[in-house]
Amino acid sequence: IEDTQKVATVQATAMQALARQLHEVVQAQADIRNEVGAGLAAFAHVGQAVHGLSVEVGGIVDTLKQVSGAAPRRPWTLRSSARHRCWAFQSG
């Protein structure tokens, strides 16, 4: 009977350890699920922001096209200045 009691005590201790480990695994999976959900929400938010930005840039491009179409035509040439490392517009 004593041997059976010892075996039962060892098995009960092992079962408690397994139950704790299972609880830790379940908690880790819940944490991962929450992080994945937050990541997906952030990704959706970024997608909406990029779409909004593309709409704004499209509007700016349209405005620039309208402004350039309304501007008087002048013969401008683009030249590079290696000394100043910049681009400059020069007439003629």
Pull the structure tokens for residue 15: 């079962």
- Higher per-residue confidence, 30 vs 83: 30
pLDDT value at residue 66: 87
Which pTM does this prediction carry? 0.53
pLDDT value at residue 71: 66
Of 70, 76, 72, 75, the closest CA to residue 88 belongs to: 76
What does the H/E/C string look like for 51-89? HHHHHHHHHHHHHHHHHHHHCCCCCEEEEEECCCCEEEE
* DSSP 8-class letter at 1: -
- The tens digit of pLDDT for each residue in 29-76 reads 999 999 999 999 999 999 999 999 999 999 999 998 888 877 666 655
- Higher per-residue confidence, 65 vs 15: 15
Instruction: Inform me whether the pLDDT recorded for 28 exceeds 70.
Output: yes
